[in-house]
């Protein structure tokens, strides 16, 4: 018999097209135009599947689906819509009980394939339920049982090997025969077999202990459990009988005693083995609990990282406008407006501090844009000695031990300096009464190490376990953010490095940073900082691509003040249209994260292909994965930024043209 499908759609043409497709696919089709009509037809006709349009004139498809499932939880519902196609719409549809959700337009082959798949799953579920029911009952039985299935009239349908051993008949002798043959003549005359089947059809199981007959006519005392076989909770289709022969137990008491004595000896011999097995099991359970705890910690850190990274990114966009606008206002103020200049300075200071905080959040979240280059740890540490002295104070002795001819490493120098200062601040706070701080560099095989050791109060095991959690701090309220070590850990992860923490209460703490070494002969890369003066962009054309309106307007105005002729675009499509229209573009300044599925890297690649000489500045509020290097003619600038930073990038790109 063909599967029956109820097609629900208030649109005549749409309903006709789908019904014709379904009939061509080999299905019987009935139709309904409204939600109320669909509920009535589904209740009356009990179709195999409902093809339900979400947008109906009386009741929306989500509510109709819930009501259908309330009537019959097993009735398949395939929702389809041309209006509700967003991911959240599909989620609402599936949450309402739909078994699948398709967005129109949909290919006919896909619609038919989805229906076939749903019907296959339904058939498999029905077969599995029946098989599981039979399997469950069999599992409940004990070994050496006779297992027999009969139909509603007591005709034998299956006969197990255990039944052969217990009752004597082979399977070929009894299939299709009445199960009355295993009952005594007295029970058959008293209609016991039929009565037990009648009871079993209304009860979960029927248990009895009575005499049964073997093939050879010998009676056996057996315990019998009879249970109905049902399909999806319907009426009994047959019965399963499980018989256990208890006759032997009456005559084998001595053998049972000998067996019990042997079992006692075996139990004694195996007690030691079981004890050891239990010990190993407890150890495995403990290891598993530790692994689960570690997994939960990783998941928590990942979730916090995503949250903090997203917040920091949004703040960086806002701070770009705040810093840039404040800088412009300050330059526009008359020199004698000292009070207004002071207020502008306070805004700049607060915004700069906020930007520093977002950088620390991004470092923890491993989304801090980095500019890794070959560098010497010895040079970086040596350049920080004066700042380290000022940071730790006079009560703490600073010892610097740098290995000569230390191999180079690839790192972001600014982030390394921030990480080292963070570690120095932590060490200072751990030595309130003074002490010694030792900073050492050394090489070990293919790794270059930077260690920071103090003689402070150290950490407990619990503190060490949580030391790199974001916002965890042992300092008093207001004395720390709890982001120091989390920021360092994020920086090390971005640098393909590792961080080890060793601490003993009362003796001090050592933090070891490990970096991959570079091959010998690698040259240090140093940035060249241009001399003073304003960059001149006169007679050059710039295209600014940024989806945030405030940031877009600020960057465009900054470029205009530097002499550029500026055009703007809110997304990649608008930018490509501008370029394809033939407008000149000397500078492309684009945000990396853009809406519409095309990011700033892709925009830059496209413009570079059609304008080979274009200069490119990529803006970002947080790191974006991209395997390709920046390449010549390209700079990366971190939000928020001030105009002097922008001028530095432009000078690098265009040379030393000045006003």
Whether the CB-CB separation of 547 and 570 falls below 8 Å is answered with yes
Given this model, what pLDDT does residue 357 score? 62
Given a cut of 70, is residue 295 above it in pLDDT?
no
When the pLDDT of each residue in the chain is averaged and rounded to a whole number, the result is 82
Q: What is the 3 state secondary structure string of 252-315?
A: CHHHHHHHHHHHHHHHHHHHHHHHHHHHHHHHHHHHHHHHHHHHHHHHHHHHHHHHHHHHHHHH
What's 623's DSSP letter? Answer: -
Given a cut of 70, is residue 592 above it in pLDDT?
yes
Looking at the chain, the number of H-run helices and the number of E-run strands are 21, 22
| Mean pLDDT lowest among 155-159, 270-274, 473-477, 615-619 | 473-477
Mean pLDDT, range 165-170, rounded to an integer: 90
Given this model, what pLDDT does residue 583 score? 94
Cβ burial of 553 (10 Å; 0-12, 13-18, 19+) is middle
Rounded Cα distance between 2 and 24, Å, is: 12
Between 379 and 307, whose confidence is greater? 379
Rounded Cα distance between 534 and 561, Å, is: 10
Given this model, what pLDDT does residue 481 score? 46
290: phi then psi, degrees, rounded to nearest 5: -65, -40
| Mean pLDDT lowest among 198-212, 498-512, 514-528 | 514-528
| Mean pLDDT lowest among 473-477, 499-503, 514-518, 535-539 | 473-477
Given a cut of 50, is residue 581 above it in pLDDT?
yes
CATH number of 141-251, picked from 3.30.470.20, 3.30.450.20, 3.40.605.10, 3.40.30.10: 3.30.450.20
Q: List the chain domain ranges.
A: 4-128, 141-251, 254-364, 373-516, 541-654
Buried b (16+ CB within 10 A) or exposed e, 259-272: eeeeeeeeeeeeee
Domains 141-251 and 373-516 share a fold: no
- Given the DSSP bridges, would you call strands 396-402 and 435-444 parallel, antiparallel or unpaired? parallel
First to last CA, the chain: 87
- Torsion angle of C-alpha atoms 412, 418, 422, 428, degrees rounded to 10: 120
| Mean pLDDT lowest among 48-62, 368-382, 624-638 | 624-638
pLDDT digits (tens, 9 = 90+) for 241-272: 999 888 877 677 656 777 777 888 888 888 88
Given a cut of 70, is residue 659 above it in pLDDT?
no
In DSSP notation, 333-394 reads S-TT-HHHHHHHHHHHHHHHHHHHHHHHHHHHTT------EEE-HHHHHHHTHHHHHHHH-T
If pLDDT is split at 50, 70 and 90, which confidence band does 83 have?
confident
Mean pLDDT, range 27-48, rounded to an integer: 91
Tokens at 389, concatenated:
């002295």
Given a cut of 50, is residue 656 above it in pLDDT?
no
Given this model, what pLDDT does residue 486 score? 72
Rounded Cα distance between 60 and 83, Å, is: 12
If pLDDT is split at 50, 70 and 90, which confidence band does 494 have?
confident
If pLDDT is split at 50, 70 and 90, which confidence band does 488 have?
confident
In DSSP notation, 385-448 reads HHHHHHHH-TTEEEEEEE-TTPPPEEE-HHHHHHHHHHHHHHHHHT-TT-EEEEEEEEEETTEE
Given a cut of 70, is residue 371 above it in pLDDT?
no
If pLDDT is split at 50, 70 and 90, which confidence band does 637 have?
confident
Architecture per CATH, domain 4-128, reads as 3-Layer(aba) Sandwich (3.40)
pLDDT digits (tens, 9 = 90+) for 528-538: 444 445 788 88
Rounded Cα distance between 551 and 640, Å, is: 10
Task: Report the length, in residues, of the chain.
Answer: 659
pLDDT digits (tens, 9 = 90+) for 399-449: 999 999 899 998 887 778 878 888 888 888 889 889 999 999 999 889 999
Given a cut of 80, is residue 330 above it in pLDDT?
no
541-654: what CATH class?
alpha beta
User: 275: which residues sit within 8 A by CB, 6+ positions away?
Assistant: none
Mean pLDDT, range 5-18, rounded to an integer: 90
Whether the CB-CB separation of 638 and 624 falls below 8 Å is answered with no
If pLDDT is split at 50, 70 and 90, which confidence band does 311 have?
low
Residue 10, helix vs strand vs coil: coil
CATH number of 373-516, picked from 3.40.50.2000, 2.60.40.2300, 3.30.565.10, 3.10.129.10: 3.30.565.10
211: phi then psi, degrees, rounded to nearest 5: -80, 135
Between 498 and 83, whose confidence is greater? 498
């Amino acid at each position: 018999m063909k599967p029956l499908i109820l097609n629900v759609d208030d649109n005549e043409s749409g309903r006709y097209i789908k019904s014709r497709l379904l009939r061509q696919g080999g299905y019987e089709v009935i139709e309904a135009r409204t939600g109320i009509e669909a509920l009535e037809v589904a209740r009356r006709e009990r179709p195999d599947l409902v093809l339900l349009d979400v947008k109906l004139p009386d009741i929306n498809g989500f509510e109709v689906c819930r009501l259908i499932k309330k009537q019959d939880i097993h009735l398949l519902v395939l929702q389809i819509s041309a209006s509700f196609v967003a991911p959240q719409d599909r989620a609402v549809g599936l949450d309402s009980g739909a078994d699948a959700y398709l967005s129109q337009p949909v290919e006919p082959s896909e619609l038919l394939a989805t229906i076939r798949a749903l019907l296959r799953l339904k058939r498999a579920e029905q077969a599995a339920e029946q098989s599981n029911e039979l399997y469950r009952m069999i599992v409940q039985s004990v070994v050496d049982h006779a297992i027999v299935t009969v139909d509603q009239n007591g005709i034998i349908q299956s006969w197990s090997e255990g039944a052969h051993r217990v009752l004597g008949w082979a399977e070929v002798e009894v299939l299709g025969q009445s199960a009355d043959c295993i009952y005594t003549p007295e029970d058959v005359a008293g209609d016991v077999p039929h009565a037990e089947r009648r009871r079993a059809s209304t009860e979960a199981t029927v248990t009895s202990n009575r005499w049964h007959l073997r093939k050879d006519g010998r009676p056996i005392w057996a315990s019998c459990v009879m249970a109905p076989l049902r399909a999806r909770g319907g009426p009994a289709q047959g019965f399963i009988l499980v018989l256990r022969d208890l006759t032997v137990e009456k005559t084998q008491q001595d053998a049972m005693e000998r067996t019990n004595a042997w079992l006692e000896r075996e139990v004694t011999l195996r007690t030691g083995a079981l004890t050891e097995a239990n010990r190993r099991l407890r150890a495995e359970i403990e290891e598993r609990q530790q692994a689960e705890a570690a997994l939960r910690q990783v998941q928590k850190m990942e979730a916090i990282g995503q949250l903090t990274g997203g917040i920091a990114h949004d703040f960086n966009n806002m701070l770009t406008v705040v810093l840039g606008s404040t800088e412009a206002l300050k330059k526009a103020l008359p020199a004698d407006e000292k009070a207004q200049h002071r207020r502008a300075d306070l805004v700049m200071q607060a915004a700069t501090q906020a930007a520093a905080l977002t950088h620390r959040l991004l470092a923890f979240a491993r989304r801090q844009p980095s500019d890794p280059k070959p560098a010497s740890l010895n040079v970086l540490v040596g350049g920080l000695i004066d700042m380290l002295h000022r940071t730790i104070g006079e009560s703490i002795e600073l010892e610097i031990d740098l290995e000569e001819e230390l191999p180079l490493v690839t790192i972001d120098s600014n982030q390394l300096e921030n990480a080292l200062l963070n570690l120095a601040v932590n060490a200072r706070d751990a030595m309130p009464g003074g002490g010694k701080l030792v900073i050492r560099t050394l090489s070990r095989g293919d790794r270059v190490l930077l260690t920071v050791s103090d003689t402070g109060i150290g950490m407990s095991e619990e503190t060490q376990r949580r030391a790199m959690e974001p916002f965890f701090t042992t300092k008093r309220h207001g004395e720390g953010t709890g982001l120091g070590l989390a920021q360092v850990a994020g920086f090390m992860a971005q640098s393909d490095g590792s961080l080890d923490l060793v601490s003993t209460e009362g003796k001090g703490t050592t933090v070891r940073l490990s970096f991959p070494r570079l091959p010998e002969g690698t040259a240090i890369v140093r940035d060249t900082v241009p001399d003073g003066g304003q960059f001149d962009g006169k007679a050059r054309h710039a295209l600014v691509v940024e989806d945030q309106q405030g940031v877009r307007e600020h960057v465009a105005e900054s470029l205009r003040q530097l002499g550029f002729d500026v055009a703007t675009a809110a997304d990649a499509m608008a930018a490509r249209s501008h370029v394809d229209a033939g407008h000149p573009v000397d500078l492309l300044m684009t945000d990396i994260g853009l809406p519409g599925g095309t990011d700033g890297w892709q925009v830059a690649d496209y413009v570079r292909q059609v304008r080979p000489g274009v200069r490119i500045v990529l803006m970002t509020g947080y790191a974006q994965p991209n395997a390709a290097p920046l390449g010549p003619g390209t700079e990366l600038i971190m939000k928020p930024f001030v105009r002097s930073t922008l001028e530095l990038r432009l000078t690098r790109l265009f040379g030393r043209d000045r006003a």
